[in-house]
């Protein structure tokens, strides 16, 4: 692993002792957690569709539309707790929890342990473990959607083992082991307790040399030159045709009969995506050479930021395909996954995918779009059933199957959250701006959001402004009120943005009507502390010590509040950020804070928030992260969001503006960032030192933008196909 530039991988001198430290590979459908133990290796297999039935599969949104008008009357009359009755009284129903499938167990006679090294190569997706007399290589193929592992060994026992922490006792397990021309076929079927739903894993064992003996439920290999394993998992109802699955694996092997040929087919889509963007901070070569578990202790190291940036891109790409990343990305080693391992839409999902557009990972945006498109019908049912409206309302939580709003309670009335559709569609709008073309699928969804607001926005205040009631700011409440309130800042920002953006996508009579509706929404309120109020309704007092920063949606990711266009509101937003506490020190809270601070050009606050995560022992040896300090609760928020924070501190763009070096913390004192994509349709390479900076813009379309730096602003004319070089003085 070279140390003359950023290290695109990480390594450890010992096998993983905990599943949290296992190295990760994935293709957005299947995932693998690799321990790398030469004598008793374990590979935990995951798959995005694996969610355990818990009642959520049958849950529906509450039928509340007939009660909406009465609740609005009471809220507008001053009853601050009126929305607490806007429920059907059901107990909290969690979405179906994500879980692992099984582990592939590979045992061999005690061998030599000297020369041990475990690595993961971010550029290839390969996890490799070696000793003096043993090698294991694994990747999850983007080309063939299969987990591929090769083990060079003389003697080896192989089995599929479902016994992972938290596995339900009533899980119905069936094993089979069959001899095949290649060697053997192993399968494991697991039926969920009390359900007709199940999943099946199939592993084709291809042996070169030696002999193969079936030892149900596994196989024993003796004297082999190498063993190649191909593994897939399917979730299904009823029975699965294992023969058909085996035939597909055999066809893959026939078309690419070796590990290296399978890897070559995978490399083009994976490596192409991963290498589009790089960050080089000129780190110390000695620190670049450290194993990850040692490097994470050097919390002010440029080498650490380089590696976490690279790891974050790798893990984000690897967990995105069928779906975007869950709370745990695509991985977990136990069944009792925190918060169901769900897609938590009201903060975490958009934070994790924040770098997708600017850091040139359209694969991630496509995965988000895929999830949204599959659930569009459920979103329509939410709007109709809860609010009696046309259009769509997104749920705050989803397991990837259902997009219905059924996960809520009195303390978390998540069914009241109406900003979700705009929040989730914002990355798709950014993607369209980057590529310079409007996707008709995004246009159709935006029209649905606008239709919802047309039906919801029927009440006005004393000044004639439209009112959003009930209104919910995830997951907070006014100090003197209840969770369901009036005119939450996030709801106002979302409604304005959705209506105006839908109008941009649909010129004509609809656009005029939607813009007029947006113009009738009330302005944001500045409270007695000089801060942007979380609720614009007079009399509602802010609760500052909270992990969410939903009220600053207008700052990030929207461009509604900026230091350039709305300096007074930006100052109020900065004051709101200063007053915000960290509550329970969750990683997503700190990094959300950093993203907002970067938009407000506050480098010191970016550094402080980033430092809370780097100093807080949030990263496992795998460089996957935790939700809380001291590596408590496996969670991908910090790992996936950190690259976005670093980029936002260095480069920001809108369709008509470029901001260079708006808020770089001291740790980013010099470096080079390449391959960035801007929302005005240009690629950007940036290099900087304390003495100055140089940017090369590669525009794909001709236009004029404003360039903002610490020296001020100036117009910039760009011509499609012509590189534009910018040289800046001291920043």
Specify the pLDDT at position 590. Answer: 97
* Residues forming CATH 2.70.98.50 domain(s) in the chain: 9-51+99-275
693 Cβ neighbours under 8 A, 6+ residues apart: 660, 661, 686, 687, 726, 727, 728, 731
Distance in angstroms (rounded) separating the CA atoms of residues 49 and 381? 22
At 153, the pLDDT band (50, 70, 90 cuts) reads confident
Specify the pLDDT at position 1. Answer: 45
Q: Once rounded to an integer, what is the mean pLDDT over residues 223-239?
A: 95
DSSP 488: B
CB 220 within 8 A of CB 156: yes
The helix (run of H) or strand (run of E) holding residue 727 is: strand 724-728
Specify the pLDDT at position 374. Answer: 98
Name the 3-class secondary structure at 417: coil
CB 381 within 8 A of CB 409: no
Q: What spatial distance separates the first Cα and last Cα of the chain, rounded to whole Å?
A: 34
User: pLDDT tens across 711-727, in order?
Assistant: 889 999 999 999 999 99
Average pLDDT, the chain: 96
Q: Which residue is it, tokens 């399968």?
A: 187
Distance in angstroms (rounded) separating the CA atoms of residues 38 and 568? 61
User: pLDDT tens across 644-654, in order?
Assistant: 999 999 999 99
At 730, the pLDDT band (50, 70, 90 cuts) reads low
Distance in angstroms (rounded) separating the CA atoms of residues 238 and 667? 55
CB neighbour class for 7 (10 Å; exposed up to 12, middle 13-18, buried from 19): buried
- pLDDT of 576 strictly over 50: yes
- pLDDT of 613 strictly over 70: yes
Tell which residue, 387, 406, 385, has the closest CA to residue 395. Answer: 406
452 Cβ neighbours under 8 A, 6+ residues apart: 383, 387, 389, 390, 391, 392, 393, 418, 421
Tell which residue, 87, 86, 56, has the closest CA to residue 74. Answer: 86
User: What is the largest distance, in Å, between two alpha-carbon atoms of the chain?
Assistant: 85
* Residues forming CATH 1.50.10.10 domain(s) in the chain: 56-96+339-671
- pLDDT of 498 strictly over 90: yes
* Cis before 475 (ω within 30): yes
Specify the pLDDT at position 667. Answer: 86
- pLDDT of 502 strictly over 70: yes
Q: What is the pTM of this model?
A: 0.97
Residue 205 CA: distances (Å) to CA of 56, 160, 226: 37, 12, 10
Percent of the chain with pLDDT over 90: 95
- pLDDT of 2 strictly over 70: no
DSSP per-residue codes, 633-667: EE-SHHHHHHHHHHHHHHEEEETTEEEESSS--GG
Q: Which residue is it, tokens 């099946």?
A: 200
Residue 249 CA: distances (Å) to CA of 129, 187, 339, 530: 25, 12, 34, 63
Specify the pLDDT at position 5. Answer: 84
**b/e burial code for range 633-665 (CB count within 10 A of at least 16 → b):** bbbbbbbbbbbbbbbbbbbbbbeebbbbbbbbb
User: pLDDT tens across 383-431, in order?
Assistant: 999 999 999 999 999 999 999 999 999 889 999 999 999 999 999 999 9
Distance in angstroms (rounded) separating the CA atoms of residues 202 and 198? 13
- pLDDT of 501 strictly over 50: yes
Q: Once rounded to an integer, what is the mean pLDDT over residues 137-146?
A: 98
CATH of domain 9-51+99-275: 2.70.98.50
Q: Which residue is it, tokens 């959705």?
A: 498
Tell which residue, 467, 471, 345, has the closest CA to residue 417. Answer: 471
- pLDDT of 111 strictly over 90: no
User: pLDDT tens across 515-546, in order?
Assistant: 999 999 999 999 999 999 999 999 999 999 99
Specify the pLDDT at position 673. Answer: 98
Name the 3-class secondary structure at 203: strand
Specify the pLDDT at position 298. Answer: 98
Classified by CATH at the fold level, domain 56-96+339-671 comes out as: Glycosyltransferase (1.50.10)
Residue 675 CA: distances (Å) to CA of 401, 602, 649, 672, 696: 35, 24, 16, 10, 10
Beta strands in 429-486 (DSSP E): 459-460, 466-467
Angle at the Cα of 154 from the Cα atoms of 149 and 156, rounded to 5 degrees:
60
Cβ neighbours of 255 (radius 10 Å): 11
Specify the pLDDT at position 552. Answer: 98
Distance in angstroms (rounded) separating the CA atoms of residues 581 and 578? 8
At 112, the pLDDT band (50, 70, 90 cuts) reads confident
- pLDDT of 438 strictly over 50: yes
Cβ neighbours of 456 (radius 10 Å): 24
Specify the pLDDT at position 4. Answer: 76
Distance of CA 194 to the CA centre of its chain: 32
Tell which residue, 642, 646, 691, has the closest CA to residue 668. Answer: 646
Taking the CA atoms of 305, 308, 312 and 318 in sequence, report the sign of the dihedral they define. Answer: positive
User: pLDDT tens across 53-82, in order?
Assistant: 999 999 999 999 999 999 999 999 999 999
Residue 334 CA: distances (Å) to CA of 34, 57, 167, 261, 730: 14, 21, 7, 33, 51
Distance in angstroms (rounded) separating the CA atoms of residues 250 and 180? 10
Distance of CA 308 to the CA centre of its chain: 15
Specify the pLDDT at position 3. Answer: 66
Distance in angstroms (rounded) separating the CA atoms of residues 619 and 607? 18
Q: Which residue is it, tokens 């360039």?
A: 707
The strand pairing partners of 687, in sequence order, are 672, 694
User: pLDDT tens across 355-378, in order?
Assistant: 999 999 999 999 999 999 999 999
Q: At what angle do helices 440-456 and 509-519 cross, to 10 degrees?
A: 50
């Amino acid at each position: 692993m070279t140390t003359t530039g950023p290290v695109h991988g990480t390594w450890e001198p010992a096998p993983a002792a905990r599943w949290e430290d296992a190295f990760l590979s994935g293709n957005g459908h299947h995932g693998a957690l690799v321990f790398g133990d030469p004598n008793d290796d374990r590979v935990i297999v995951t798959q995005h569709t694996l969610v355990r039935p818990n009642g959520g599969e049958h849950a529906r949104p509450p039928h509340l539309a007939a009660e909406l008008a009465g609740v609005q009357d009471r809220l507008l009359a001053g009853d601050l707790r009126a929305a607490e009755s806007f429920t059907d009284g059901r107990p909290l129903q969690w979405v179906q929890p994500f879980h692992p499938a099984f582990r592939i167990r590979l045992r061999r006679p005690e061998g030599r342990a000297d020369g041990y090294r475990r690595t993961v190569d971010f550029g290839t997706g390969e996890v490799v473990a070696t000793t003096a007399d043993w090698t294991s290589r694994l990747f999850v193929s983007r080309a063939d959607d299969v987990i591929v592992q090769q083990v060079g060994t003389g003697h080896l026992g192989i089995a599929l083992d479902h016994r992972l922490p938290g596995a339900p006792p009533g899980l119905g397990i069936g094993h089979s082991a069959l001899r095949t021309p290649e060697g053997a076929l192993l399968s494991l079927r697991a039926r969920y307790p009390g359900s007709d739903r199940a999943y099946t894993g199939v592993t084709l064992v291809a042996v070169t040399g030696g002999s193969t003996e079936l030892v149900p439920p596994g196989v024993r290999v003796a004297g082999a030159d190498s063993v190649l394993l191909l593994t897939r998992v399917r979730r299904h109802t009823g029975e699965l045709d294992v023969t058909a699955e085996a035939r597909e694996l055999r066809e893959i092997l026939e078309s690419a009969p070796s590990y290296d040929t399978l890897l070559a087919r995978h490399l083009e889509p994976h490596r192409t995506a991963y290498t589009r963007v790089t960050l080089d901070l000129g780190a110390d070569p000695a620190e670049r050479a450290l194993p990850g578990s040692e490097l994470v202790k050097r919390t002010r190291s440029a080498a650490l930021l380089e590696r976490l940036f690279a790891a974050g891109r790798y893990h984000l790409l690897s967990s995105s395909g069928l779906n975007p990343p869950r709370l745990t990305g695509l991985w977990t080693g136990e069944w009792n996954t925190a918060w169901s391992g769900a897609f938590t839409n009201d903060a975490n999902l958009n934070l994790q995918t924040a770098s997708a557009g600017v850091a040139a990972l359209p694969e991630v945006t496509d995965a988000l779009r895929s999830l949204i498109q599959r659930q569009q019908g459920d979103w329509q049912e939410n709007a109709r059933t809860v609010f009696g409206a046309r259009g769509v309302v997104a749920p705050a939580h989803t397991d990837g199957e259902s997009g219905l709003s059924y996960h809520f309670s009195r303390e978390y009335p998540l069914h009241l959250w109406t900003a979700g559709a705009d929040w989730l569609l914002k990355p798709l709008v950014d993607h369209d701006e980057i590529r310079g073309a409007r996707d008709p699928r995004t246009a159709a969804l935006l029209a649905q959001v606008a239709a919802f607001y047309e039906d919801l926005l029927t009440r006005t205040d004393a000044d004639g402004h439209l009112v959003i009631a009930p209104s919910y700011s995830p997951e907070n409440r006014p100090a003197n009120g209840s969770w369901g309130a009036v005119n939450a800042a996030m709801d106002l920002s979302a409604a304005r943005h959705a209506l105006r953006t839908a109008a941009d996508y649909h010129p004509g009579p609809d656009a005029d009507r939607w813009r007029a509706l947006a113009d009738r929404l009330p302005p944001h309120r500045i409270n007695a502390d000089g801060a942007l109020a979380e609720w614009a309704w007079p009399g509602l007092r802010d609760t500052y010590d909270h992990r969410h920063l939903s009220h600053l949606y207008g700052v990030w990711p929207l461009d509604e509040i900026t230091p350039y266009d709305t300096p007074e509101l930006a100052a109020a937003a900065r004051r709101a950020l200063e007053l915000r506490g960290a509550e329970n020190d969750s990683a997503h809270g700190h990094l959300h804070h950093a993203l907002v601070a970067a938009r407000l050009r506050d480098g010191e606050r970016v550094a402080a928030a980033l430092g809370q995560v780097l100093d807080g022992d949030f990263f496992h040896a795998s460089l996957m992260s935790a939700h809380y300090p001291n590596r408590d609760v496996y969670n991908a928020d910090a790992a996936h969001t950190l690259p976005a924070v670093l980029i936002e501190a260095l480069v920001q763009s809108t369709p008509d503006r470029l901001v260079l070096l708006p808020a770089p913390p001291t740790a980013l004192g010099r470096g080079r960032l390449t391959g960035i994509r801007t929302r005005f349709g240009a690629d950007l390479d940036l290099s900087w030192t304390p003495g100055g900076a140089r940017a090369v813009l590669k525009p794909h379309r001709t236009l004029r933008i404003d360039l903002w730096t610490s020296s001020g602003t100036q117009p910039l004319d760009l011509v499609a196909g012509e590189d534009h070089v910018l040289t800046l003085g001291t920043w």
